Amino acid sequence: GANLSGAYVENADLSYTDLHRASLALTNLGGADLSGANLRETNLSNANLSGAKVQSACFGNNPGLSLELQQNLIQRGAIFEQS
C-alpha cells in the first residue's frame, strides 16, 4: 500500500479510497471524509482521526489502533472486520 506517513490531509475528501495496507502512521486525518474507504490492514499508529467521517469505512487488523479508538470509530459508523 501507499506510504502516507506523516501526511497532512486534514479535511480531505478520501471517501471510497482504497487505502488497504497503506501506512498512515502520524498522519493528520482530522475532519477528513473517509466514508466508505477501505482501511483494512492500514497502519494507523499515532494517526489523528478526530472529527473524521468514517461512516461505512472498513477497518480490520490495523496496527496502532487502540481498542478505545476502535470502539469510538464503530460508534461513528465504521465497520470492523475480523481476521
Task: Evaluate if residue 39 carries a pLDDT over 70.
Answer: yes
What Å distances lie between residue 57 and 21, 32, 73, CA to CA?
A: 14, 12, 9
> Once rounded to an integer, what is the mean pLDDT over residues 51-66?
97
Per-residue pLDDT at 83: 61
Domain count, the chain: 1
Supply φ then ψ for residue 74, to 5 degrees: -60, -40
- Per the structure, the complete domain to which residue 6 belongs is given by 1-83
Confidence band for 1, pLDDT divided at 50, 70 and 90: confident
19: domain CATH number is 2.160.20.80
